[in-house]
Amino acid sequence: MDREVEIPPKSTEREPESQETEGPGKGGDRIRCPFCGWSPGARDLWMCSCNHMWNTFDTGGVCPKCLVQWLNTQCHRCHQWSPHSVWYPAD
């Protein structure tokens, strides 16, 4: 099920910029936005339509409270929506 409720992304704290790497061949093993390359930190949170807040990448896009599977994820930096699966590095 794909339920999208546009709720402003929440973050308790931003990871330091120094942990983000750029350039070809760098940072390829990190979860990142397919549009802008932003990499979420462990403390970045998303909100479900049930109002539960959690890190969507800890559960593969499934809300641990209501078990809704989020097929799309909104980037905290560029605010674009994209399929949750494309945030993960290619094997």
Residue 90, domain member (yes or no): yes
Bridge-based pairing of strands 72-74 and 44-47 is unpaired
> What pLDDT shows up at residue 42?
93
The domain of 48 spans 1-11+37-91
1 Cβ partners below 8 Å, 6+ apart? 68, 69
CA of residue 5 relative to chain centroid, distance: 15
Residue 41, domain member (yes or no): yes
Residue range 30-80, pLDDT digits in tens: 999 999 999 999 999 999 999 999 999 999 999 999 999 999 999 999 999
Number of folded domains that form the chain: 1
Cα–Cα distances (Å) from 77 to 1, 11, 62, in that order, read 25, 11, 21
Residue 86, domain member (yes or no): yes
> What pLDDT shows up at residue 32?
97
The Cα–Cα gap between 56 and 61 comes to 5
Residue 21, domain member (yes or no): no
> What pLDDT shows up at residue 28?
55
Structure token digits, residue 91: 């094997």
Residue 17, domain member (yes or no): no
